[in-house]
């Protein structure tokens, strides 16, 4: 634990850390009700030992192979809305099994959530195999981001080389910074298309300037414009 931020009571200087307790069984058998109650009781004690304030206790009966579980979805919502720092579970199989477990571990770690388990009597220690898979997933995501950014940069550079001047053409550039614009700038799509850019490059260029548009959207709006204005064109395919 990072001593720069945390004192020995696991409290962020002046801020009580909050956690969620998650209990799961896979069947509807009556005997499983006892298991849920036992899990909740043991996890409550563990959270107190590590000085966490329990924001909620979520129990459900569902298969660990299912990702679309109401309890899990509620946990993810609460983590984002309630600033939850930790999740307490009996063991990693309660979180999920197979691919579902790997996905949830990846999502929780990305959200900065620590996972505590009864089986480890502390923070979850994942296996070397799971650790390797999570590293591969993170690496793939990082390269996907780099590729996405490269496509945007390529589209913007190609547009500028073709004579496109965003500071002149996008009059609302800089307004509502950090928020996706819902309107699609049709005039700019037409202008860029006339410069010879592909629909992929046009979409990437507009995304670079804050417009949340896909290649399919750009192509569809351009085709609609051509049909409405009876423009002769050869854009019968998406490129």
Contacts for 78 with CB less than 8 Å, ≥ 6 apart: 20, 55, 56, 84
Rounded distance, CA 150 to CA 196, Å?
Answer: 20
Q: What is the DSSP string of 47-108?
A: HHHTT-EEEEEEEEE--TT-S--HHHHHHHHHHHHHT--EEEESSHHHH-SHHHHHHHHHHH
Rounded distance, CA 209 to CA 200, Å?
Answer: 15
Grouping H, G, I as helix, E, B as strand and the rest as coil, residue 1 is coil
For the CA atoms of 206, 209, 210, 213, the dihedral, rounded to the nearest 10 degrees, stands at 0
**Could you confirm whether 26 is annotated as catalytic?**
yes
Q: Do 159 and 152 form a contact (C-beta atoms < 8 A)?
A: no
The residue from 26, 31, 63, 127 that is catalytic is 26
Angle at 202 between CA 196 and CA 208, to 5 degrees: 140
Sheet strands side by side (includes 114-117):
53-61, 18-25, 86-89, 114-117, 122-123
Rounded distance, CA 50 to CA 203, Å?
Answer: 49
Catalytically annotated residues = 26
């Amino acid at each position: 634990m990072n001593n720069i931020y945390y004192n020995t009571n696991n409290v962020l200087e002046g801020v009580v850390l909050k956690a969620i307790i998650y209990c799961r069984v896979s069947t509807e058998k009556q005997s499983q009700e006892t298991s849920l109650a036992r899990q909740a009781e043991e996890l409550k004690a563990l959270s107190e030992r590590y000085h966490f304030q329990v924001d909620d206790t979520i129990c459900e009966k569902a298969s660990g192979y299912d990702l679309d579980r109401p309890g899990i979805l509620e946990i993810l919502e609460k983590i984002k809305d309630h600033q939850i720092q930790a999740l307490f579970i009996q063991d990693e199989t309660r979180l999920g099994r197979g691919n579902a477990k790997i996905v949830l571990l990846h999502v929780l770690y990305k959200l900065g959530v620590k996972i505590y388990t009864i089986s480890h009597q502390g923070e979850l220690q994942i296996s070397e195999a799971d650790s390797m898979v999570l590293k591969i997933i993170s690496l793939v995501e990082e390269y996907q981001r780099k590729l996405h950014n490269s496509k945007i940069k390529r589209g913007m550079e190609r547009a500028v080389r073709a004579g496109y001047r965003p500071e002149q053409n996008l009059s609302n550039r800089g307004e509502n910074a950090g928020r996706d614009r819902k309107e699609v700038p049709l005039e700019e799509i037409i202008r860029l298309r006339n410069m010879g850019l592909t629909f992929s490059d046009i979409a990437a260029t507009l995304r670079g300037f804050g417009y949340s548009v896909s290649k399919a959207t750009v192509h569809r709006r351009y085709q609609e414009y051509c049909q409405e204005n009876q423009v002769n064109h050869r854009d019968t395919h998406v490129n």
